[in-house]
Amino acid sequence: MFSDLLISDNVRNFAADYQTKMVVTFEKEYLKELYEDKKARNKKYRFQPQIIKKYTQVIDLMMELSNVMGLTQYGALHYEHLHGNKEGLSSVRVNDQYRIEFREIIEDNKTIAELVSLTDLSNHYK
């Protein structure tokens, strides 16, 4: 009975964490590889070590926040909704040259997205 109580407390704690932390998913395999392995297998997606380090720091920050609106408190990230051919995407800056593009997914008619799907790490000026 005691172990059942522990399991149910763990489930409750996980559910509470899920609701208070943003969920980040990776639409492209290279984005996941950059985050987990600090490098991509495909040579097309090779980045300088300082770019990868900043990228992982930004992803870690996103995972700690409760929603995307928390990104607005970090001015250096320049959180913004994109326009034109990238309508429907948002972005944050990794540095002056690169940004992380992501799709905000709203679940259960919530007005603030809690699930973010990363779409690209792009060169801002290309």
The model's pLDDT over 21-53, given as tens digits with 9 standing for 90+, comes to 888 888 899 999 999 999 999 998 899 999 999
Sign of the dihedral defined by the CA atoms of residues 71, 85, 54, 35, in that order: positive
> 123 forms bridges with which residues in the sheet?
98
> 93 forms bridges with which residues in the sheet?
99
Q: Span 53-70, mean pLDDT?
A: 91
Question: In this structure, which amino acid lies at residue 36?
Answer: E
Give the pLDDT of residue 92.
93
Residue environment code for 66-93, b if the CB has 16+ CB neighbours within 10 A, otherwise e: ebbeebeeeeebebeeeeeeeeebbbbb
Share of the chain above pLDDT 70, in %: 74
For residues 47 and 107, give the distance between their C-alpha atoms in angstroms, rounded to a whole number: 33
Task: Examine the pLDDT at 97 and tell me if it is beyond 80.
Answer: yes
Share of the chain above pLDDT 90, in %: 45
